[in-house]
Structure 1
Amino acid sequence: MLYSCYSLGAVFFLFTAYTERAFLHPDLLFKHPLRAKGDLEKKLKSMGLSVRWNQFSAGPQLLEALNAGRLDFGHAGETPPISAQAAGAPLLYVASSPPNPKGEAILVPKNSPIRNLFDLKGKKIALNKGSNVHYLVVQALAKANLKYTDIEPVFIPPADARAAFEQKKVDAWAIWDPYFAAAEQATGARILTDATNIVENREFLFASQTFTKKHPDRLKIVLEEIKKVDEWAKSRPKEVAQILSPLIGIDAGVLEQVAKRRAYGLELITQEVVAYQQRLADTFYRLKLVPKKIDVSQVAMVSDHKPN
Structure 2
Amino acid sequence: MDAHRRLLDLSLALTVLLSMLPMLGMAEPLPEVIRISTGAGSPLTPKLSGANSGLTAARQAVEQEFAADGVRIEWLHPLGGGVASNEALASGAVDIGYAGEFPAIFGRAAGLKTRFVGGGFRGNNAYLVVKADSPAHDLAELKGKRIAIMKGQPWEYGFDRLLRSKGFTQADFKVLNLSLVDSRTALEQGRIDALYAPGVYGANLAADGRGRILWSTREAPRDWQFAADFFVAEDFAQKYPTAVKRFLKAVIRVSAWASDPKNGDELFQTWVPQGYSVEQQWKEYRDSDFLFRFSPIPDPFLLAHYREVANYMLENRLIRRPVDIDAWVDRSFVDAALRELQLEGHWPEYDRDGNPLPQVARQ
* Counterpart for residue 175 of structure 2: 153
Partner residue in 2 for 1:21: none
**SS in structure 1 opposite 2:69?**
coil
Q: Over aligned residues, Cα RMSD in angstroms?
A: 2.9
Provide the residue aligned with 1:84 in structure 2: 107
Q: Does 1:56 align with 2:65?
A: no
Q: Which residue of 2 aligns with 1:174?
A: 196
Judge conservation of contact 2:155–2:225 (CA < 8 Å) in 1. no
Unaligned stretches of 5+ in structure 1? 14-25
Matches within 5 A, 1:3-82: 3-6=37-40, 8=42, 28-57=50-79, 58-82=81-105
| Paired residue secondary structure (2:205) | helix
SS at the partner of 2:155? Answer: helix
CA contact (8 A) 1:90 1:209 kept: yes
Q: Say if 1:85 and 1:294, in contact at 8 Å, map to a contact too.
A: yes
Q: Report the CA distance shift for 1:61/1:78 in structure 2 as closer, same or farther (over 3 A).
A: same
2:253 maps to 1:228: yes
Q: 1:139 to 1:244 in 2, by over 3 A?
A: same
The SS at the match of 1:74 is: strand
Q: Does 1:281 align with 2:281?
A: no
Decide whether the 8 Å contact of 2:40 with 2:51 is kept in 1: no
How many aligned residue pairs are there?
294
Q: Distance in 1 between matches of 2:191 and 2:205?
A: 16
Aligned counterpart in structure 2 of residue 129 of structure 1, from 134, 148, 151: 151
Aligned CA distance change for structure 1 residues 199 and 3 (closer, same or farther; 3 Å) = same
What residue is the counterpart of 1:105 in the other structure?
127
Distance (whole Å) between structure 2 residues aligned to residue 88 and residue 98 of structure 1: 24
Q: Displacement, 1:131?
A: 0.8
- Tell me whether 184-193 or 86-95 shows the greater mean CA deviation: 184-193
Q: What is the aligned partner in structure 2 of residue 266 from structure 1? A: 295
1:187 to partner: Cα distance: 4.9
C-alpha distance after superposition, 1:71-122 (max 9, x if no partner): 2212222222222222222122112246415x22222222222222333322
Q: Distance in 2 between matches of 1:114 and 1:67?
A: 45
Contact residue 166 and residue 187 of structure 1 kept, 8 A: no
Task: Say whether 1:209 aligns with 2:234.
Answer: yes
Counterpart of 1:81, as a letter, is A
Q: Structure 1 residues 257, 226: closer, same or farther in 2, change over 3 A?
A: farther
For the 8 Å contact 2:205–2:212, the answer to whether it is kept is: no
Q: CA deviation at 1:62?
A: 1.9
Instruction: Please say if 1:163 is aligned against 2:162.
Output: no
| Change in CA separation of 1:3 and 1:154 when aligned onto 2, cut-off 3 Å | same
Q: Distance in 2 between matches of 1:290 and 1:10?
A: 32
Provide the C-alpha distance between the structure 1 equivalents of 2:87 and 2:177, rounded to a whole number of angstroms.
Answer: 18
Matched, 1:251 2:277: yes
Cα drift, residue 217 of structure 1:
1.9
2:319 to 286, 290, 293: 290
Question: Which whole-Å CA distance do the structure 2 matches of 1:210 and 1:11 have between them?
Answer: 32
CA, structure 1 residues 295+39, in 2 after alignment: closer, same or farther (shift >3 Å)? closer
Measure the CA separation in 2 of the matches of 1:11 and 1:95: 26
Q: Deviations over 1:129-150 (max 9, x none)?
A: 2111111111111111111222
Deviation at 1:242, TM superposition (A): 2.4
Q: Percent identity?
A: 22
8 Å Cα contact 2:298-2:329 kept in structure 1: yes
